[in-house]
């Protein structure tokens, strides 16, 4: 294209149809929607497969303590099922042991056991959980605290999976 002599050089390099370039055609927009939808679909499938695989994976069976090893109202810390999953073993009564994951289901603060109120308390936003089932008693946590299934062999306490959340059938 021949340049007009009185026209500045920048006009050649910068598109003078900028206003039109901002226009997104129907086909372009449709392609964008299709790609976005496909990416979201693939992401959901990936999340679904991951959660399914985790559910199917065999949870370890691990010795976590000895009956009588902690006083009534006392707590022992352990990790389950992985080394970065902190949990609490609580002795609520003479022979009454329960275990829960320690991460609050709201924003993952560490919950503590209150023997006076017999409940698990999250200090971050006053979320309270039942020490019996892990159900939410008060506050913003959206889900119950995962309760660990305990087995007993003599005096040995063993973690071997999770109890179904309160209100769900096993």
Binding site for ligand FES (CB under 6 A): 104, 106-107, 109, 122, 124-125, 127, 139-141
Q: In what order do the strands lie in the sheet with 96-101?
A: 75-79, 86-93, 96-101
For ligand FES, give the closer residue by CB, 87 or 157. 87
Asked if 81 and 148 count as a contact pair (C-beta separation under 8 A), the reply is no
Shortest distance, CB of residue 81 to ligand FES, whole angstroms? Answer: 21
Min dist. Cβ of residue 102 to ligand FES (A): 11
Residue closer to ligand FES by CB (options 97, 128) is 128
Smallest distance, Å, CB 27 to ligand FES?
Answer: 47
Phi, psi of 45 (to 5 degrees): -60, -40
Instruction: Give the span between the Cα atoms of 72 and 93, in whole angstroms.
Output: 5
103 DSSP 8-state letter:
B
CB atoms within 10 A of CB 4: 9
Nearer to ligand FES, 136 or 157 (CB): 136
For ligand FES, the closer CB: 139 or 165: 139
Q: Running DSSP on this structure, what letter comes out for residue 123?
A: T
| Token pair of 97 as six digits | 């042991």
* Cβ at position 36, least distance to ligand FES in Å: 32
């Amino acid at each position: 294209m021949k340049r007009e002599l009185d026209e500045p050089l920048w006009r050649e390099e910068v598109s003078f149809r900028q206003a039109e370039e901002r226009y997104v055609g129907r086909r372009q927009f449709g392609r964008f929607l299709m790609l976005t939808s496909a990416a979201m679909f693939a992401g959901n499938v990936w999340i679904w497969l991951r959660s399914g695989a985790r559910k199917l994976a065999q949870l370890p069976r691990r010795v976590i303590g000895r009956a009588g090893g902690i006083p009534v109202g006392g707590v022992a810390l352990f990790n389950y099922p992985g080394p970065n999953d902190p949990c609490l073993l609580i002795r609520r009564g003479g022979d009454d042991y329960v275990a829960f994951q320690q991460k609050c289901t709201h924003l993952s603060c560490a919950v503590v056991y209150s023997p006076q109120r017999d409940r698990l308390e999250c200090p971050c936003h006053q979320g309270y959980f039942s020490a019996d089932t892990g159900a939410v008693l008060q506050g913003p946590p959206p889900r119950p605290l995962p309760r660990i299934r305990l087995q007993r062999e003599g005096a040995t306490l063993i973690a071997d999976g999770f109890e179904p959340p309160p209100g769900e059938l096993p």
